[in-house]
């Protein structure tokens, strides 16, 4: 059973989409992130090992910072995208929960004589996010630390007091990570399932609302975050999935680098994940064809109605000939315009 806080989350307290979205833009919104899991990497060779495995430069990271990255097959296909966080003695690799074990097993095969230990925390940690203009104030009050100035993927650890039965108070560890690609400030809170449940209860007591999957997906698509298993899978190359930010073209060798560099030098891929802004409010279903006249230009992977953009948005793989921003296409009978990612709102 995934590590989360089911008895709490499954209570009938989720706000309506409209209330939750308003909280994310005007107040504070809590969202369950138990679809995420972490693999911890320890050992004295951890940094050099990951530098040789992952697509981004982890050697330049300072403790408390992070970067997006990917782990590839030797043919350059995705095993998983991930976020890499550096702490004093550990690297924390966060990804979709369903990818954590395949990722750990694939990475483990490359450990030969290196002093590296991999630890899955899928069953021992839970994550929720708090986002909105009031999120940093609530977290500062609960954690006793300022988070408003944290840069993208910066993270810090803190401890909070928790009642532990007749034995009295005990200190519970947790960490906060800043996610700056959202339309409003977002902070992810990770702790043991029991501690996460307690912190989530306190966040709601401080005025945050709890949102469900629909608003979480809307916020993800607005932020142009492709999700493994929805917008990409093991058949995709990282440049096809618009994961340029996860790749360093200056670092040394890593698994699958030859194929990434070859595509980069070619200057294009045959298909690529792009954005679509639709004229109407109805989001198209996954796999809906994208047409340019009578020609099939691609297909939708995920979509949502976005109040911030005033209409439906979609992520879709498009053939190279139709990737130019501003290209007019049709999706399910509705007019749409191709957009580069991330989506840019007009004034």
The whole-number pLDDT of residue 1 equals: 33
The whole-number pLDDT of residue 139 equals: 95
Give the mean pLDDT of 181-207: 93
From residue 118, alpha-carbon distances to 175, 200, 320 in Å are 20, 28, 39
The whole-number pLDDT of residue 161 equals: 73
The whole-number pLDDT of residue 14 equals: 67
Residue 286: both structure tokens together: 């996954």
pTM for the model stands at 0.93
Phi and psi based region of residue 64 (left: phi greater than 0; alpha: psi -120 to 50; beta: remaining)? left
CA distance 147 to 5: 24
The whole-number pLDDT of residue 233 equals: 97
Residue 158 reports pLDDT greater than 70: yes
From residue 94, alpha-carbon distances to 100, 121, 122, 252, 344 in Å are 8, 10, 10, 23, 27
DSSP annotation of 251 reads: S
pLDDT tens, position by position, 87-107:
999 999 999 999 999 999 999
The whole-number pLDDT of residue 15 equals: 79
What does pLDDT average to over the chain?
92
DSSP annotation of 232 reads: B
From residue 163, alpha-carbon distances to 139, 160, 170, 172 in Å are 19, 10, 6, 10
The whole-number pLDDT of residue 165 equals: 58
Pick the CATH number of 1-269 from 3.40.50.620, 3.40.50.720, 1.10.10.10, 3.30.1360.120: 3.30.1360.120
Size (the chain), residues: 347
How confident is residue 344, by pLDDT bands cut at 50, 70 and 90? confident
Residue 182 reports pLDDT greater than 90: no
The whole-number pLDDT of residue 2 equals: 40
Q: Where are the domains of the chain?
A: 1-269, 270-347
How confident is residue 168, by pLDDT bands cut at 50, 70 and 90? low
CATH fold, domain 270-347, is Elongation Factor Tu (Ef-tu); domain 3 (2.40.30)
Residue 12 reports pLDDT greater than 80: no
The whole-number pLDDT of residue 172 equals: 83
Residue 240 reports pLDDT greater than 50: yes
Residue predicted with more confidence, 9 or 228: 228
How confident is residue 345, by pLDDT bands cut at 50, 70 and 90? low
Residue 279: both structure tokens together: 């004229």
pLDDT tens, position by position, 120-145:
999 999 999 999 999 999 999 998 89
């Amino acid at each position: 059973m995934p590590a989360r806080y089911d008895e709490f989350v499954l209570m009938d307290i989720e706000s309506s989409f409209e209330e939750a979205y308003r909280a994310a833009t005007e107040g504070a919104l809590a969202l369950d992130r138990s679809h995420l899991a972490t693999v911890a990497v320890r050992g004295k060779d951890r940094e050099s090992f990951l530098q040789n495995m992952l697509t981004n430069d982890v050697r330049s990271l300072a403790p408390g910072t992070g970067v997006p990255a990917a782990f590839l097959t030797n043919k350059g296909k995705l095993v998983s995208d991930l976020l890499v966080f550096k702490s004093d003695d550990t690297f924390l690799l966060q990804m979709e929960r369903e990818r954590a074990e395949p990722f750990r097993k694939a990475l483990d095969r490359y450990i030969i004589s290196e002093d590296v230990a991999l630890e899955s925390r899928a069953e021992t940690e839970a994550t929720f996010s708090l986002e909105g203009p009031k999120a940093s104030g609530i977290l500062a009050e609960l954690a006793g630390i300022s988070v408003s100035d944290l840069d993208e993927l910066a993270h810090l650890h803190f401890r909070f007091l928790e009642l532990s039965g007749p034995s009295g108070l005990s200190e519970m560890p947790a960490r906060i990570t800043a996610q700056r690609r959202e339309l409003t400030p977002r902070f992810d809170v990770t702790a043991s399932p029991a501690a996460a449940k307690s912190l989530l209860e306190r966040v709601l007591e401080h005025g945050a609302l709890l949102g469900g999957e629909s608003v979480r997906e809307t916020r993800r698509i607005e932020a142009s975050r492709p999700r493994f298993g929805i917008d990409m899978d093991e058949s995709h190359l990282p440049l096809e999935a618009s994961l340029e930010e996860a790749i360093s073209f200056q670092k040394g060798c890593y698994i699958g680098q030859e194929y990434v560099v070859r595509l980069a030098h070619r200057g294009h891929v045959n298909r690529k994940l792009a954005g679509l802004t639709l004229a109407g409010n109805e989001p198209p279903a996954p796999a809906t064809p994208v047409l340019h006249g009578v020609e099939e230009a691609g297909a939708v992977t995920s979509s949502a109605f976005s109040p911030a953009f005033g209409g439906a948005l979609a992520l879709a793989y498009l053939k190279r000939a139709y990737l130019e921003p501003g290209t007019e296409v049709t999706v399910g009978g509705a007019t749409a315009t191709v957009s580069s990612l991330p989506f840019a709102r007009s004034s």
